[in-house]
């Protein structure tokens, strides 16, 4: 049984939205099955419909833990690193996160694996964890020095006019609104970003598939930068086009971290064996 109190941000929101955001691995099917069984209580009363909830409501959800378990899709593992294919709709860190699942699996190890970089909640794909402190320190430095190539697949609305392009701009992070803003010219509080893309495919519904590489890894950089140049990611609720998202029935952004390549420019100590090593997910695994 899980007990949740509704915070202000979910006031007047639907029950399913709140529960899916706050219960790890809760699918639509499992949510509605639980509703039908009247295994959800709001303020002590059982409900059988996807009702509107309000701030400070107390919600009890009776779902066996084994139904909410997330299987770890491990792409590669050795004594130093762990490479996971992260599903969408799960945070990397925090409560009810991918890190929670990983720590549960590795609870008896001397060092709990830690992430070396980040992905947005609704961005799926490859994310790297270190399995010891030495590897973590090395990899954090390598990511900071741009010695690990990160490539993403992005399904965007629109077709770029050029096959390949490297774009510079400036990004401002509004922490209160949880949004970022892009400017083509320097401004106070804005930080330099560099985003590159290559056009891979064009589709008949005015969408296209891009390979995107970021030299700078700022919050929401890919999503906001592509939207800024008129190529919003399909399914993106913050920077995309709501009409398009609804028409395409896209509930989360079509963005996947699909390729990592180690390109060390200096000594990597115990991780030197990874230099020039590349990991890539098949494009067919991208949720078009």
Distance in angstroms (rounded) separating the CA atoms of residues 255 and 209:
10
3-state secondary structure of 39: coil
Specify whether the CB–CB gap between 112 and 275 falls below 8 A.
no
pLDDT band at 124 (very low <50, low <70, confident <90, very high): very high
Distance in angstroms (rounded) separating the CA atoms of residues 74 and 218:
26
Domain edge (last residue) among 68, 97, 113 = 68
Specify whether the CB–CB gap between 164 and 178 falls below 8 A.
no
Q: Is 271 part of a structural domain of the chain?
A: no
Q: Does 120 qualify as catalytic in the annotation? A: yes
Distance in angstroms (rounded) separating the CA atoms of residues 39 and 122:
27
Total residue count of the chain as it appears in this document: 288
Q: Is 25 part of a structural domain of the chain?
A: yes
Q: Is 168 part of a structural domain of the chain?
A: yes
Q: Is 193 part of a structural domain of the chain?
A: yes
3-state secondary structure of 250: coil
Q: Is 14 part of a structural domain of the chain?
A: yes
Q: 223: buried, middle or exposed (CB in 10 Å: 19+, 13-18, 0-12)?
A: buried
Displacement of CA 123 from its chain's centroid (Å): 3
Long-range contacts of 267-275 (CB under 8 A, 24+ apart): 268/138, 268/142, 269/134, 269/138, 270/80, 270/134, 270/135, 270/138, 271/80, 271/81, 271/135, 271/138, 271/139, 271/142, 274/81
Q: Is 23 part of a structural domain of the chain?
A: yes
- Report the domain count for the chain: 2
Q: Tokens representing 252? A: 């989360």
Averaged pLDDT, 211-234:
95
Query: To which H or E segment does residue 83 belong?
Result: strand 81-86
Q: Which of 28, 120, 137, 174 is catalytic?
A: 120
Distance in angstroms (rounded) separating the CA atoms of residues 247 and 245:
6
Strands 124-130 and 255-262: what pairing? parallel
Strands 13-14 and 52-53: what pairing? antiparallel
Domain edge (last residue) among 27, 52, 68 = 68
Which residues are registered as beta bridge partners of 124? 256
Domain edge (last residue) among 68, 89, 105 = 68
The reported pLDDT for the residue numbered 215 is 87
Taking only the tens place, the pLDDT of each residue in 242-267 is: 999 999 999 889 999 999 999 999 99
- Residue 152: is its pLDDT beyond 80? yes
The reported pLDDT for the residue numbered 12 is 94
Of 161, 181, 165, nearest in space to 173 by CA? 181
Distance in angstroms (rounded) separating the CA atoms of residues 115 and 93:
8
The reported pLDDT for the residue numbered 132 is 96
Taking only the tens place, the pLDDT of each residue in 57-70 is: 999 999 987 777 77
Q: Is 94 part of a structural domain of the chain?
A: no
Taking only the tens place, the pLDDT of each residue in 91-117 is: 999 877 899 889 988 988 889 999 999
| Domain assignment of residue 8, given as a range | 2-68
CATH number for position 176: 3.30.2350.10
248 in the same domain as 156: yes
Q: Is 125 part of a structural domain of the chain?
A: no
Distance in angstroms (rounded) separating the CA atoms of residues 238 and 120:
12
Q: Tokens representing 65? A: 């833990």
Averaged pLDDT, 14-35:
89
CATH number for position 11: 3.10.290.10
Displacement of CA 79 from its chain's centroid (Å): 25
3-state secondary structure of 96: coil
pLDDT band at 25 (very low <50, low <70, confident <90, very high): confident
The reported pLDDT for the residue numbered 89 is 83
Q: Mean pLDDT lowest for which of 31-40, 61-70, 181-190, 218-227? A: 61-70
């Amino acid at each position: 049984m899980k007990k949740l109190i509704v915070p202000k941000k979910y006031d007047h929101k639907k029950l399913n939205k709140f529960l899916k955001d706050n219960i790890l691995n809760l699918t639509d099917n499992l949510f509605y099955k639980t509703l039908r069984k009247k295994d959800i209580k709001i303020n002590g009363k059982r409900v059988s419909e996807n009702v509107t909830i309000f701030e400070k409501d107390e919600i009890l959800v009776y779902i066996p833990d084994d139904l909410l378990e997330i299987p770890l899709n491990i792409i590669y593992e050795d004594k130093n690193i762990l490479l996971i294919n992260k599903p969408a709709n799960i945070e990397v860190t925090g409560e009810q996160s991918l890190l929670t699942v990983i720590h549960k699996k590795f609870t008896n190890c001397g060092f709990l694996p830690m992430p070396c970089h980040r992905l947005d909640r609704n961005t799926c794909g490859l994310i790297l964890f270190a399995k010891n402190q030495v590897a973590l320190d090395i990899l954090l430095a390598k990511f900071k020095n741009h010695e690990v190539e990160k490539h993403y697949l992005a399904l965007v609305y629109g077709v770029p006019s050029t096959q390949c392009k490297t774009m510079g701009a400036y990004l401002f992070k509004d922490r209160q609104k949880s949004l970022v803003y892009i400017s083509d010219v320097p401004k106070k509080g804005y930080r330099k970003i560099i985003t590159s893309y290559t056009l891979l495919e064009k589709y008949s519904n005015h969408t296209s598939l891009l390979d995107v590489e970021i030299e700078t890894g700022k919050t929401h950089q890919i999503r906001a930068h592509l939207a800024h140049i008129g190529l919003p990611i399909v399914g993106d609720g913050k920077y995309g086009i709501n009409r398009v998202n609804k028409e395409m029935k896209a509930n989360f952004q079509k963005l996947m971290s699909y390729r990592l390549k180690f390109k060390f420019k200096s000594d990597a100590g115990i991780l030197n064996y990874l230099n020039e090593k590349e990991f890539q997910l098949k494009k067919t695994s991208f949720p078009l």
